[in-house]
Amino acid sequence: MVNERQQQILQILENKGEIQLQQLKIIFPAISMMTLRRDLISLEGDGYLIRTHGGAVSKKKLSGISGEEDAYSRRAAENMEAKMRIAEKACGMVEKGRSVYFDSGSTLMCLAQMIKDDNFSILTSGINISLELVKKSRISVVTLGGLVNRNTLSVSGPNAMDLLGTINIDLAFMSASGFSIDSGFTISNIYECELKRKVVRRAKKVIMLMDSSKINKDLPFTYAGLEDLNMWVCDKPLSAELEEETKKFRIEIV
């Protein structure tokens, strides 16, 4: 049962979308940090929120769903807890002083929401991701231009490819709609496939953010294989067979 203080926490999340433990301590000065942390654990267990590093975020903010759902909202709401776990792991991998690429997709959107406001330089093909990042005043954001995909809110096509060819990428945080050992990392759009393929070729380090629900699913177009990755951030341990395959290419699994 939700107590009065937890109801107040939920109201704050309803209004702000997210909260930090330090902020809760200011609001509830007589309550210990340990007790406030237990409140968040309890509310997460009841399905009201998802805890992040040092706080929590409301599921409503993450899904962005109200009334009629569009295609992107439906996709974004799938496996949200897994995506948040992955994003939380990846937060510390975004480095200052490096040229960073954020792929499109709901897992990358979670990462954009969770990273701290710092002197990062981020290039992205995701329109929604760029809008999220510019809310943070210290992050430098560059968005590729081109044809907009309504299902992913990403841009692709000749204009995006041309700009991409002029930019160096140190770290590329990538996503995929499916993966199998035979087909590699796959998506459904040929133009996005070409764009992602070029990002992988240009990046010095490729970090895949993909949850376990997409493993053993094949879509029409392959843009990368295990040999193209340096790191894979997942929500669950990989199968023994897949882990053996990743070892062949010295991929770090997080």
- CATH at 39: 1.10.10.10
Domain boundary among 62, 77, 104: 62
Give yes or no: residues 87 and 111 share one domain: yes
pTM summary value: 0.71
**231 and 139 share one domain:** yes
Domain coverage including residue 16: 4-62
Give mean pLDDT in consecutive 10-residue pieces for the chain, a chain of 254 residues.
84 81 88 91 83 75 46 58 88 92 91 90 92 90 85 82 90 94 91 92 95 91 95 93 93 94
CB count in 10 Å sphere of residue 235: 18
Dihedral angle over CA of 28, 31, 37, 39, nearest 10: -80
Q: List beta partners, residue 101.
A: 123, 172
Is the domain of 132 the same as that of 146? yes
CA distances from 55 to 67, 68, 111, 135 (A): 28, 30, 15, 19
Q: Given phi > 0 = left and psi -120 to 50 = alpha, else beta, which region is 95?
A: beta
Q: Provide the pairing of β-strand 184-187 with 221-224.
A: antiparallel
Contact at 8 Å (CB) between 207 and 171?
yes
* Structure tokens given for 59: 């599921």
Q: What is the C-alpha separation between 232 and 135, in angstroms, rounded?
A: 28
Q: Same domain for 132 and 222? A: yes
CATH number, domain of 117, equals 3.40.50.1360
Residue count of the chain, please give it.
254
Residue with tokens 């669950």: 236
Of 183, 203, 188, 195, nearest to 152 (Cα)? Answer: 188
User: Same domain for 74 and 58?
Assistant: no
Angle of helix 4-16 versus helix 33-45 axis, rounded to 10: 70
- The number of domains in the chain is 2
Q: Examine the domain organization and report whether 12 and 94 are in the same domain.
A: no
Whether residue 213 sits in one domain with residue 96: yes
Whole-number pLDDT of residue 151: 72
Do 119 and 195 share a domain, yes or no? yes
Give the 3-state secondary structure of 182-220: CCEEEECCHHHHHHHHHHHHHEEEEEEECCHHHECCCCC
**166 and 134 share a domain?**
yes
Q: CB-based contacts of 92: which residues, under 8 Å, 6+ apart?
A: none
Q: Are both 118 and 35 inside the same structural domain?
A: no
Give the domain-ending residue among 19, 36, 62: 62
Pair (16, 78) in one structural domain: no
Q: Are residues 28 and 44 in the same domain?
A: yes
d(CA 211, CA 234): 5
3-state DSSP call for residue 18? strand
- Strand segments (E) across the chain: 18-20, 49-52, 55-58, 99-102, 121-124, 140-143, 147-149, 154-156, 169-174, 178-180, 184-187, 203-209, 221-224, 231-233, 252-253
Q: Which of 44, 62, 80 is the last residue of a domain?
A: 62
